[in-house]
């Protein structure tokens, strides 16, 4: 197995390994690399759906998806191809749902227990566009001056799916009941990584405002923090090829997808590894097919 770090503070490419038949050493190597680099690209891993799920489970129990379009609760379908095989209209419910991913975010931060990791697999990619970028929130934290850091410590943000998807108009895919299952939640603006002990900024598009601060003021602060954090040299970018899979640490990176010519299919499937602790979205092993 070969781990080739990027020349940035995040991102590495892992090659010469069969993800379906990992030795203990390789498994540990991947875990170490995940903690160090936060984003791991496995080019042309060509995993089947089963192998994708099995590899993801090595990172922890998986989250049940919000998406109603997949057969398996472990898989979120990020695809602009509708069930009838037609490419979705950009302004339809599906197009708007996907549009939300163009803004910097961390997966499931609108849930009480936010996601630990995500593993995104490319099945069909457009000729141009559709790259994904990740921004290093550890490096972004380190880049802040002491006064700003002290001001941010202890702040708590309200994260809300109704807020973030409402902004792009992409809430129509959810029923009233599903929306009610996703009430606004609280997360600290500064997180300490449980494995590395490093601090990072925890912001992104689902963060609506700050507890105890005027709503507009908090929103403006969050926007400024995200904008300043997501700048080079903290950005790692991946140009997708079918068969690639990328794993990232949602606790310390933000990500966003780039637009592509919307008449071209882009079909991606994602697993989401549940965050630690009591989590009503986690799929218990053995009941996944129930
Ligand atoms: C995701 C996501 C962006 C993309 O899979 O969680 O935000 O480029 N994807 O598809
Ligand atoms: Mn995402």
SS3 letters for the chain?
Answer: CEEEECCCCCCEEEECCCCCCCCHHHHHHHHHHHHHHCEEEECCCCCCHHHHHHHHHCCCCEECCCCCCCCCCCCEEEECECCCCCECCCCCHHHHHHHHHHCCECCCCCCCCCCCEEEEEEEECCCCCCCEEEEEHHHHHHCCCHHHHHHHCCCEEEECHHHHHHHHCCCCCCCHHHHHCCCCEEEECEEECCCCCCEEECCCCCEEEECCCCHHHHHHHHHHHHHHHCCCCCEEEECCCCCCEEEEECCCEEEEECCCCCCCCCEEEEEEECCCCCCCCECCCCCCCC
- Does residue 219's CB lie within 6 angstroms of at least one atom of ligand 1? no
In this prediction the pTM is 0.95
The encoded tokens of residue 152 equal: 């941010």
- Does residue 247's CB lie within 6 angstroms of at least one atom of ligand 1? no
- Does residue 257's CB lie within 6 angstroms of at least one atom of ligand 1? yes
Atom of ligand 1 nearest to the CA of 240: 8
CA of 147 to the centre of ligand 2 (A): 31
Ligand nearest to the CA of 245: 1
CA of 146 to the centre of ligand 2 (A): 30
Ligand nearest to the CA of 268: 1
φ, ψ (nearest 5 deg) of residue 214? -50, 135
pLDDT for residue 288? 44
Ligand 1, atom 3, residue with closest C-alpha: 257
Contacts with 220 (C-beta within 8 Å, 6 or more apart), sequence order:
none
Task: Determine the Cα–Cα distance for residues 31 and 125; give it in Å rounded to an integer.
Answer: 28
Query: HSE-up of 266 (CA within 13 Å, CB side)?
Result: 25
Task: Determine the Cα–Cα distance for residues 155 and 211; give it in Å rounded to an integer.
Answer: 7
pLDDT for residue 170? 67
- Does residue 99's CB lie within 6 angstroms of at least one atom of ligand 1? no
pLDDT for residue 286? 52
Task: Determine the Cα–Cα distance for residues 106 and 161; give it in Å rounded to an integer.
Answer: 12
Give pLDDT tens digits along the chain (290 positions).
Answer: 999 999 999 999 999 999 999 999 999 999 999 999 999 999 999 999 999 999 999 999 999 987 777 789 999 999 999 888 899 998 888 888 889 999 999 999 999 999 999 999 999 999 999 999 999 999 999 999 999 999 999 999 999 999 998 888 767 777 888 888 899 999 999 999 999 999 999 999 999 999 999 999 999 999 999 999 999 999 999 999 999 999 999 999 999 999 999 899 999 999 999 999 888 889 977 544 43
- Does residue 52's CB lie within 6 angstroms of at least one atom of ligand 1? no
41 strand-pairing partners: 13, 246
Ligand nearest to the CA of 125: 1
Ligand 1, atom 2, residue with closest C-alpha: 101
- Does residue 74's CB lie within 6 angstroms of at least one atom of ligand 1? no
Peptide bond into 242 cis (omega under 30): no
Atom of ligand 1 nearest to the CA of 98: 10
- Does residue 268's CB lie within 6 angstroms of at least one atom of ligand 1? yes
- Does residue 118's CB lie within 6 angstroms of at least one atom of ligand 1? yes
In angstroms, how far is CA 129 from the centroid of its own chain? 19
Task: Determine the Cα–Cα distance for residues 133 and 125; give it in Å rounded to an integer.
Answer: 15
pLDDT for residue 204? 97
pLDDT for residue 29? 98
């Amino acid at each position: 197995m070969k781990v080739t770090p990027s020349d940035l503070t995040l991102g590495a490419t892992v090659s010469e390994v069969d993800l379906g038949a990992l030795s203990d050493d390789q498994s540990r190597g991947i875990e170490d690399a995940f903690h160090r680099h936060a984003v791991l690209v496995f080019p042309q891993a060509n995993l089947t759906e089963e192998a994708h799920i099995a590899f993801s489970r090595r990172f922890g129990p998986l989250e049940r998806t919000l998406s109603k379009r997949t057969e398996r609760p472990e898989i979120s379908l990020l695809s602009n191809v509708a069930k009838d095989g037609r490419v979705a209209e950009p302004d339809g419910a599906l197009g708007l749902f996907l549009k939300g991913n163009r803004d910097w975010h961390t997966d499931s931060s609108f849930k009480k227990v936010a996601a630990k990791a995500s593993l995104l697999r490319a099945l069909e990619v457009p000729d141009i566009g559709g790259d994904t970028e990740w921004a290093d929130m550890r490096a972004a934290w380190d880049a802040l001056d002491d006064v700003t850091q002290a001001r941010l410590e202890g702040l708590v943000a309200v994260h809300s799916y109704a807020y973030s998807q409402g902004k792009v108009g992409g809430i129509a895919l959810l029923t009233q009941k599903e929306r009610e299952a996703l009430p606004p939640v609280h997360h600290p603006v500064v997180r300490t990584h449980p494995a590395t002990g490093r601090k990072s900024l925890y912001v992104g598009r689902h963060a609506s405002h700050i507890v105890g601060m005027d709503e507009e003021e908090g929103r403006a602060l969050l926007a400024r923090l995200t904008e300043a954090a997501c700048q080079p040299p903290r950005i790692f970018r991946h140009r997708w090829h079918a068969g690639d899979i990328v794993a990232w640490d949602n606790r310390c990176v933000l990500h966003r997808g780039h637009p592509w010519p919307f008449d071209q299919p882009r079909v991606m499937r994602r697993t989401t590894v549940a965050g630690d602790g009591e989590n009503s979205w986690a799929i218990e092993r053995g009941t996944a097919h129930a």
